[in-house]
Copies of this chain bind each other. A is one copy, B any other.
Amino acid sequence: MAAKGIDFWFDFASTYSYPAMMRIETLAKAADVPVRFRPFLLGPIFKAQGWATSPFNLYPAKGQNMWRDLQRLCADLALPFRRPGIFPQNSLMAARVALAGLDAGWGEAFSRAVFQAEFADDRDIGDPVTLGEVLTGLRIDPQAALAEAQSDAIKARLRNETEEAQKLGVFGAPTFITPDGELFWGNDRLERAIAWARDGR
């Protein structure tokens, strides 16, 4: 990573990762800050905290406000939004495909398209058929990509990435980490994280 780059840790099941995903590249480019996509799984980190599912499901008042807040936020950003019928979605396969794609150069476009499928079009991203359609839309061979995503190497990579996130103190998504180790949590901190990466403070 470039000296002033930023690591963008996200989970495809994370609601606030959606606006962050749709905003980060424009904002980072304007600040001349490179971005490294780091898909990971929040599930094991939540489980280590004693949560069997999303805290937005465990704590209904918090969850109800999150959906309303996300709706307001997307309206303010002119981002299409439809509340997914399934929440949280199974993000395992999407994360594996994204890791394969990041090696091959199409991981960023795939990641954006998956978030759009989930939060704009209410698609089930845990379904390989959805991921296949997303890949086809990007002119990527879905069979090859899905096979690569299920290789032992990619499976191990995703486990390692998730373990690294946990070691770095990641407890939610999206999270942004600068080269000097500053951790910023949440879509609300995206601008500040980019400024920190640019200025070193």
Residues on A facing B (Cβ under 8 Å): 49, 59, 61-62, 64-65, 68-69, 72, 76, 169-172, 182-185, 188-189, 192
Contact = CB atoms under 8 A, between A and B. Distances in A.
Give the number of copies in the complex: 2
B192 A68 contact: no
A169 B72 contact: no
A170 B61 contact: yes
A189 B76 CA distance: 13
A59 B49 CA distance: 7
Given A49-B59, A59-B171, A171-B59, A65 B183 contact: yes
Contact of A69 (B49, B61, B69, B184): B184
A62 to B, nearest CB: 5
A65 B192 contact: no
11 contacts: A49-B59, A61-B169, A61-B171, A64-B169, A65-B169, A65-B171, A69-B184, A69-B189, A72-B192, A76-B192, A188-B188
Contacts of A172: 62
A26 B188 CA distance: 22
Contacts of A169: 61, 64-65
A64 B185 CA distance: 12
Contacts of A49: 59
